[in-house]
Structure 1
């Protein structure tokens, strides 16, 4: 698995589609801060997006889509001068899966949200800007359009498991939006996500994620990336914010934490699976990174499961 796939899998990424929006004339809707990551795609027409804390409106044209990576209120509008009304009651009156605003249907949007597990904020969402805008006309936007077309077909044909297929297609869309963001705006990402934009760092990250239990050295990772040790160390630190072996430790703790959350696997088995030779070695590393022992972490309520809350010593 590659790092992006690993993290999205670790976070238990899921999608939920909402009612579509048909609008026309003079209209504006105000949305409360969404739970999870909100997405919309403009299938017809154009409108403006305004997000609290983001300078200026973002024009949205046919074929555009966007992600809201922060829980901030936002406005969609067709007319700059129209006072927005609350979107909740409008969507509560949706019929046939379509909510309506203003007069007419020259604008049509589809959307929904992505939800993640407890580690999403630090591992993914904090690495993204508040808004990721994907304009039409780029290769990844073409793939996003393909996914949206396929979602439309699934939902309109009403075949068995159509909802499940549509939600998986939405996750495909998310992956391509993230890929486009990395290709277009590498300097706005941070941490491991920023590392994926540097081919040298990305090669080292791929090696670490492919074999997290291996006893890697910086020299071995440098050979995988075809650079010197000093070059790898400097570029990894600059992009990711920590050294490659520190990153490996934290990723191992993420993997161990998932196993601790998911079941009754013994600590010895967990330790071996993530590259530690004994329970005590894992326990020392786990407590150094998280501030709690593996046993205490396992006993925590699920909503409090945050394995890397404490800085490394």
Structure 2
């Protein structure tokens, strides 16, 4: 069955030599992560900077037929995460199967042992059968979020038509910054489907960290008590981070994007340097020397994989760091500019407004 988007198909296509079905990533399988000499971890750096935050985390047990529409995140983000700029959703399929349906794309079948990650924030539906009318339409789902945030709903919700056979899944929703610059979000396709099936509750041996995190989440959901919601939300965040690591490990060799740049030895080295010392007076010459490449070769390879040249990427990353400081600290604008590599407040203010459309003071006051 066709994937929801061409980029999704490219990212999820498994190697035919290993017999992996197209559209799947398998937990614990793939190319090892790049380890840099500096010890810098750009993925953790970015996830900190974009302020990844869990918002809603609950379990659904649905009997056939069942269906739910998730509206565009702009409709429910003000309800569950009013301070976030963007919402990412994912669903861990525990039992049964179904279809994820996105406008303009063919339905994508999922089954027990899958994780569905939807990073775009656009409308989609989870259905037992493609084309059916969902039990929970967009207004009903939005109303559900309102009730959930009041704390009146149980962790496990039951829905569906009461027929034989059913599907159980966990829903996770996360907030993050989208602007000025979120390279992880920009690199993700609308839909990712990851395979993680081998865990103990399914009668098999464990399957690495992702399976252990999901087991812990299931165990915590059965032990209601003080602090349980906070633990589940932190687990929600950890599961997302581990999904990102599996994506990084399992990317096809030809795939473009920031995650592919991390895995490339030369580009990954440069990314680690820029994240380790964003305020340093970097030049293309010094970065090329660190990467062991010519200026032209580094510029071309970096832009091919990441989508920006090294110096443009550095400028964007500096703006993300500056935006965080403007929002979270009382430092003066000139001090924030110096912290991200600008010698004068005027130069920093011009660069920030060019990147965001706001002056630093206007961004701070938003």
Per-residue deviation, residues 266-294 of structure 1 (Å, max 9, x unmatched): 12321221122332342343344345443
Compare relative contact order (CA 8 Å, sep 6+) and give the higher one, 1 or 2.
Answer: 2
1:206 shift after superposition: 0.9
Structure 1 portions without partners, runs of 5+: 302-313
Q: Is the 8 A contact 2:178 2:185 kept in 1?
A: no
1:102 to 153, 157, 161: 161
Matched, 1:50 2:101: yes
Distance 1:161 1:243, change over 3 A: same
Structure 2 portions without partners, runs of 5+: 1-39, 78-86, 200-206
Distance 1:82 1:200, change over 3 A: same
Match of 1:247 in 2: 313
Query: CA–CA distance in 1 between the matches of 2:51 and 2:344?
Result: 28
Distance 1:293 1:229, change over 3 A: same
Query: CA–CA distance in 2 between the matches of 1:149 and 1:96?
Result: 16
Query: CA–CA distance in 1 between the matches of 2:58 and 2:362?
Result: 42
Aligned residue runs from structure 1 range 96-175, under 5 A: 97-103=156-162, 106-117=166-177, 119=179, 123-136=183-196, 142-175=208-241
SS at match of 2:288: helix
Distance 1:281 1:42, change over 3 A: same
1:265 shift after superposition: 0.6
Q: Is the 8 A contact 1:22 1:105 kept in 2?
A: no
SS at match of 1:275: coil
Distance 1:298 1:95, change over 3 A: closer
Matched, 1:21 2:72: no
Distance 1:81 1:214, change over 3 A: closer
Taking structure 2 as the reference length, the TM-score comes to: 0.71
SS at match of 1:70: coil
RMSD after superposition: 3.1
Taking structure 1 as the reference length, the TM-score comes to: 0.82
More moved, 266-275 vs 281-290: 281-290
Aligned length: 298
Aligned residue runs from structure 1 range 148-297, under 5 A: 148-185=214-251, 190=257, 192-297=258-363
